[in-house]
Structure 1
Amino acid sequence: MIVKRMAVTGYKSHELGIFSEKDERVTYIKEAIRQRLVAFLEEGGEWVLLSCQPGVEFWTAEVVIELKQEYSVSLAILPPFEGVEERWPEHIQLAYQEILSEADFFKAIYKGGYKGPFQFKAKDRFIVEHTDKALVLYDEETPGTPKFFLEFARVADDYEVEWITPEDLQEAVEDMQWSDPGTPEEDPH
């Protein structure tokens, strides 16, 4: 079966202790995501669906937008409710608006603003029901918000979850360092 639609989720940036887009870990996370997305697209994938929360989902959206130059890929943004970004810092709101301007599809799961946690559960359920598989950056030994998405993914029929593990991130670091080793150390002799 060709997987056409993939959800991507993972930790929020603050759950990873990342408070700046300039943090070098963002580069490595994006590279790990890019590697998986390229494999998905080369196997016939077409759509990436996200709720676009700051962190892994934001970085995924940025990677998808970059990949549009090389691949036929569509980006769907499905936040749990309208105005989800209103409490985010201004620079995050601006980045979100930029992502939305590049998205191929946008629809809030609920009209209107925040009403309760049920909106996040409905968003997770909707995304699982409208995708064939998920790519999740998550380590079950370090709990975080992706556990709620995984509750729905694990009980869905024939739903595949692909993981980006700490080992995958380390591999991305090594791949990037290998391809661009930087300045060589000076020979003391």
Structure 2
Amino acid sequence: MNVIYITGYKPFEIGIFKNDHEGVKYIKRAIKRRLVPLIEEGGEWVIVSGQLGVELWAAEVLIELKNEYDHVKLGVLTPYLQQQEAWNEANQQYYENILAHADFVDSISKKPYEGPQQLKAKNLFMVHKSDGMIIVYDEEKEGTPKYALAEAVRYSADNPYQIIRISLDDLQQAAEEDQWS
């Protein structure tokens, strides 16, 4: 996989309201565990749409990994212009810090938010421009990642496209491993 799309839950969908929440550590650890082998096998780009939650936590993981794997790059492709406009100041600063470390930043739609069709276009674009995805999602805990997953499943029916899922069980396992060490 040269281009890896990482997506998943928004923080409120899994009851997380601060980036220093204990659960974020386990989500980041689970992402890193799946991402490192892909980078070592030649992964060159990680792309996210820059939404709060799993995508920005994954961007943080990659920024840390760039110290060790200097060939890998971070692309932030937002669904529309100024997606962070309605966020609180702390989240906007956090987002701007991530963007400052990205190798490429652009918006898929060159307009501010107009409607859900921009989010659908984002899912289509991100899946079709990547070789596979890492998705933090569990069918038993429904949320917005289901739309990206549905597009990936549709696309993978006719194209070589790897879908790596991180379930809530995987996150529980990461938490248990942490308690043992």
- Alignment TM class, shorter chain as reference: over 0.9
Distance 1:106 1:22 in 2: 25
Identify the range of structure 1 (121-130 vs 168-177) with the bigger mean alpha-carbon deviation.
Answer: 168-177
- After superposition, the C-alpha distances for 1:45-91 in whole angstroms (9 at most, x for unaligned) are 11101001100001001111000000121000011011000001111
Question: 1:176 deviation in Å?
Answer: 2.4
Query: Structure 2: which amino acid aligns with 1:45?
Result: G
- After superposition, the C-alpha distances for 1:2-36 in whole angstroms (9 at most, x for unaligned) are x1111000000000100011210111111111111
Identify the range of structure 1 (34-43 vs 120-129) with the bigger mean alpha-carbon deviation.
Answer: 34-43
- Report the structure number with the largest CA radius of gyration: 1
Equivalent residue of 2:37, what SS? helix
Number of equivalences = 177
* 1:36 matched residue in structure 2: 34
Where structure 2 has 5 or more consecutive residues not aligned to the other structure, the ranges are none
Distance 2:108 2:99 in 1: 15
Residue 62 of structure 2, aligned match among 40, 61, 64: 64
Equivalent residue of 1:163, what SS? strand
* 1:150 matched residue in structure 2: 149
User: Structure 1 stretches (4+) deviating beyond 3 angstroms?
Assistant: none
RMSD across aligned C-alpha pairs, in angstroms? 1.0
Equivalent residue of 2:59, what SS? helix
Distance 1:64 1:143 in 2: 26
Query: Structure 2: which amino acid aligns with 1:48?
Result: V
Percent identity over the alignment is 49
Where structure 1 has 5 or more consecutive residues not aligned to the other structure, the ranges are 180-189
Distance 1:170 1:141 in 2: 14
Question: 1:178 deviation in Å?
Answer: 3.0
TM-score (norm 2): 0.94
